Amino acid sequence: MVINMAAGASEAELQHIIERVIECGFQPHVTRGAERAIVAAVGSGGSRAALEALKAAPGVEDVVPIAHPFKLVSRQTRSERTRVAAGGVVIGGEDAVVIAGPCSVESREQIFATARGVKAAGASLLRGGAYKPRTSPYDFQGLGLEALKLLREVREETGLPVVTEVMSTNDIELISEHADMLQVGARNMQNYDLLRRLAKAGKPVLLKRGPSATVKEWLLAAEYLLAGGNPNVVLCERGIKTFETETRNTLDLAAVALARELSHLPVIADPSHGTGRRDLIAPASRAALAIGADGLIIEVHPCPERAMSDGAQSLSLEEFARLMNGLAAPLRPVASLCAAEA
């Protein structure tokens, strides 16, 4: 942190700040200019919050951070990229990983048909909600334990590791017995009690970005997991709230690249929730991979028009297979794009 003293600050006010910086656990480095002084607070053992409070001290104009508030998730702490293994599938390695499946597990037929279909098309993990965070209390809330049992059965048959959402600390143990990776949904990204408990759960976590969260807040949420002892965290950009109404959310692709720049953790994209429109899933998927995403999570349903949640953004099995074929094709080179415009 750098403390900028005001132009008219007195020597006594500057000395007071130097003493407070030491009390806060940092070493003060003072630079005196013609008009004003600045005090750099150096070190890692002290309290940032206490330094920030110095904004209220007499003679201080501003307190400006020079390092990121997250530490363990930062690439400054770990330069090599983290690989997260979920039921034997590595996320964050050479190959992009595709997680696919229904928004909600609805029935034995539905989850088995989906799992077989997405596996045949090349997905590496199966998603399926058992406990659903629905905006309305009157909407389908998920089959709970029944869904977890189906997910376990379908994993045994297909070999696809399973990702499912955990909404409450009360459910962590039960869900951990049935799933390979635990999803923290967008609405719970800042549920710190849940994050603290998931840090000790011994399962990899898929941490979705909150709809209104900044990248910094998202990475600080991941920091809770790492600081609590769980290094196996995959970040997921799933769209944020903006003024746009044609799409359900705005898929923030720059945030995918930025999160990979700031953090060593793998970052995947969710074009289903990120756009809310099945016609945009394929182009958004290609764009996410082009910008560096380590994988995708995509909603697929054997009959989207009958889906009990998120049917409008779910791909049919045929559409998903087509999307997977398209991802394997090379990206159009820039030169041909320019030629097309001319």
Are 230 and 237 a contacting pair, CB within 8 Å? Answer: no
Residue 103 is a binding residue for Mn ion (CB under 5 A): yes
Q: Which of 73-81, 158-166, 217-225, 304-312 is the region at the interface with Mn ion (rule: CB under 5 A)? A: 304-312
| Position 202 contacts ligand PEP (CB under 6 A) | no
Minimum separation from the CB atom of position 310 to Mn ion (A): 4
Contact 208, 178 (CB under 8 A): no
Residue 185 interacting with ligand PEP (CB under 6 A): yes
Alpha-carbon dihedral sign for residues 276, 282, 287, 288: positive
208 is an interface residue for ligand PEP by CB under 6 A: yes
Residue 238 binds ligand PEP, judged by CB under 6 A: yes
CB of 143 to ligand PEP, least distance (A): 14
Specify the residue, 19 or 139, whose C-beta has the smaller distance to ligand PEP.
Answer: 139
Distance between CA atoms of 273 and 140, rounded to whole angstroms? 17
Report, in Å, the least distance between residue 267 CB and ligand PEP: 14
Distance of CA 185 to the CA centre of its chain: 9
Q: Is 273 in the site for ligand PEP (CB under 6 A)?
A: yes
Name the burial class of residue 147, with classes exposed (0-12), middle (13-18) and buried (19+) by CB atoms within 10 angstroms of its CB.
buried
8 A C-beta contact, residue 26 and residue 54? no
**What's the CA gap between 137 and 125, in Å, rounded?**
29
Q: How far is the CB of 209 from ligand PEP (least distance, A)?
A: 8
117 lies in the site for ligand PEP, by CB under 6 A? no
Chain residue whose CB lies nearest ligand PEP:
185
CA distance linking residue 295 with residue 267, whole number of Å:
7
Q: Which residues bind Mn ion (CB under 5 A)?
A: 103, 310
Residue ranges in contact with ligand PEP by CB under 6 A:
103, 129, 133, 185-187, 208, 238, 270, 273
